[in-house]
Amino acid sequence: MPNISYGLRDNIVYKKLSAHLKEIAMNRRKGFTLIELLIVVLILGALAAIAIPKIATSTSTAKDNACKTNVDIMNSQIEMYYANTGAYPADYDAFFTNATYFPEGRPVCPFGTAYVVTSDRVVSHSH
Ligand SMILES: [Zn+2]
C-alpha cells in the first residue's frame, strides 16, 4: 500500500486561499491611512515648534554680535585716524564713508539703529 500523504500546503483550497490573502495584503498597503498621516504631521509640528524659536534666537544673537563688532571696528578706526593724523576726525559722517578707513563702506547696524558718536567714541546701543 503506497504511503500517500497530502499535507495542508498541497491542498488546492489552501493554495487558492493563500494566493487570495497575499493579493489582499498587497493591495491594502498602497498608501498611508489618515491616522498615520496625522501622526506624521503632529510629529513634524512638534519638531518645528521646538526648532523655530531656537533659530530665531540665534539669528537675533548673531545680529547683536555684528552690531557690537561694528562699534568696535569704528572705534578702532577712529583711533587709527588719530594715530595717523594726530587729531580726531572733525566730521564723522565723512569719516565713516572714507574708503581708506572703511573700504567696505559705512558700517550699518543690522537692526537699523543709527550709530551715535559721543566724545570721539561710537557709543554702543541696545536693540
Ligand atoms: Zn545696533
Determine the structural domain holding residue 38 and report its residue range. Answer: 32-123
Q: What are the cell numbers at 124?
A: 554702543
- How many Å lie between the centroid of ligand 1 and the Cα of residue 60? 11
Cα of 94 from ligand 1 centre, angstroms:
20
Cα maximum dimension of the chain? 124
How many CA atoms lie less than 13 Å away from 113 in the CB half-sphere? 17
Contact 121, 81 (CB under 8 A): no
| 62 Cα: distance to centroid of ligand 1 (angstroms) | 11
Exposed / middle / buried, residue 96 (Cβ in 10 Å: 0-12, 13-18, 19+): buried
Ligand 1 centroid – CA 52 distance (Å) = 23
Angle at 113 between CA 57 and CA 127, to 5 degrees: 35
Tell me the whole-structure pTM to 2 decimals.
Answer: 0.62
Distance 10 CA to ligand 1 centre (A): 83
Mean pLDDT of 69-80: 97
Domain membership flag for residue 27: no
Q: How many residues does the chain have?
A: 127
**Residue of 97, 92, 99 whose CA lies nearest to 119:** 92
Residue 2, in any domain of the structure: no
CATH number of the domain that residue 103 is part of? 3.30.1300
- Counted domains in the chain: 1
CA 37–ligand 1 middle distance (angstroms):
45
Q: Is residue 74 part of a domain?
A: yes
Identify the residue whose cell numbers are 483550497: 13
**What pLDDT digit, counting tens, does each position of 107-126 carry?**
999 999 999 999 999 999 99
Q: pLDDT digit string (tens) for 7-38? A: 767 778 888 888 888 888 777 767 889 999 99
